[in-house]
Structure formats: C-alpha cells, structure tokens
Amino acid sequence: MKTFSGFITGDTPTVSLPEQFFTDLLPLIDDVLELKVTLACFRLFDQKSGLAKWTSINELLREPGLADVKTHIAEGLDRAVRRGGLVDAIDGENVRWVFVNNEYGRAAAEAIGRGESIERVPTVKPRPNIFVLYEQHIGALTPLIADQLRAAETEYPPKWIEEAFVEAARQNVRSWAYVQKILNNRTRKGKRDEARGRDLAADWQRVLDKDRRKK
C-alpha cells in the first residue's frame, strides 16, 4: 500500500468545499473513481473567479490527482453527473464543460447548451441565504432557529424564502413563525406566480388578511 507522509505545516494552499458536500453528497457516493473526479472538479472550481464555477474534461485530463485513473475520467464524470453533484454541457466544438450543480452552474450549462461560449455564460444575481435573511429581517440566530432554517432551505425555493422575509418585513412582523406561515400558505394554496401569472403581492395580501381575521 502506498502511504502519505503527512501535510506540510504552515501557509499552504487550501481548497474550499461546501458543507453540503459532506452532509448530503458524500454519503451518497459509493464509487472511488466518482469521488476522485468530483474532488478534482472542486479543486479546479476553486481556482476560477465568477459565480459559475467551471472546469472541462481537458483540464481534468491534466489534473495530477487523476493521473492513475486518466483513462477512466469520463466514466467517473458520468457517474458524478448522474449523482447530481455536477452538471455538464457539450459546446459546439464538442468540448465537455463541467459545473458545480447549483443555480449558477445550471444556468451556465444551459447557456453552453444553447451555443454560448464559456466566456459569455450568464451570471445570476446572488441571493442572500436564509441565515443572512433571518439576521437582516428578524435578529440573532439561535441553534434551534438555525435547525429550522436548514429544514426550510431544503423545502422551499430560494426565491420563495427571500420573498417571504421581505413580505414579513413589509408587514412589520419580525417573526420566523410568521415567515413560515407565509411559506406554508403559499405551498398549500399553490401560489406559483411564475406558472399562473398572478400578482404575488396581491395574492399574499389576501392570504395574510385571512390569517389576521383568524387570530
């Protein structure tokens, strides 16, 4: 067995990974090749600027950490894409581009699929995450609230969450329970404004007025 002599002490380069990699994705990965390719992609993503982090099959073929599996990189990448950690797209020159599977990466992959070049992939305006929204509109986080926020983040689209906080602030209600009520009502009543073309503000106002009458 080949062994590792240990990490160098001091100021050495690091690679960032999202917490969800460890909590949600890693438990699902059951193939060493897939894991190696996924980690190599994240190392290459970390070297890129911009919202849509990308790499390509050509970069992966030059990646030192994949030298022992070089002939199987495409196979590992296929597994990683099927798993959902990564998304990919083939451009007009038959080059395979790879992105982290988030809002920005999916938008970039769709752009490549439409014929855009990697230099022109669209950017998506970043939204504040649920913890930032809570601190901005309600106050300091507690461990219990943090757990509830994590659960809500997996249940509702980011746009709904942001709009619910804004609506609660507009009503001058600094309460997570109130934000939850807005989200629950929207889910229960199927308030998908994009699909139905309804006026969201008016829709929510009717729901909130009804809730006040029940109090």
Q: In this structure, are 27 and 111 located in the same domain? A: yes
What's the pLDDT score for residue 208?
Answer: 62
Question: Is position 106 within any domain?
Answer: yes
- SS3 of 36-52: HHHHHHHHHHCCCCCCC
CB distance 42 to 15 below 8 Å:
yes
Predicted TM-score of the model (pTM) = 0.57
What's the pLDDT score for residue 194?
Answer: 47
Q: In this structure, are 113 and 41 located in the same domain? A: yes
Q: pLDDT of 50-69, one tens digit each?
A: 778 899 999 999 999 999 99
Q: In this structure, are 46 and 108 located in the same domain? A: yes
In 3D space, the residue among 133, 142, 128 whose CA is nearest the CA of residue 180 turns out to be: 133
What's the pLDDT score for residue 15?
Answer: 86
Given a cut of 50, the residues of the chain with pLDDT beneath it are 123-124, 191, 193-194, 197-198
What's the pLDDT score for residue 126?
Answer: 54
Number of structural domains, the chain? Answer: 2
The residue range of the domain holding 25 is 19-120
Give the end of a domain, one of 98, 120, 142: 120
What's the pLDDT score for residue 213?
Answer: 64
CB distance 51 to 104 below 8 Å:
yes
Distance CA 90, CA 96 (A): 5
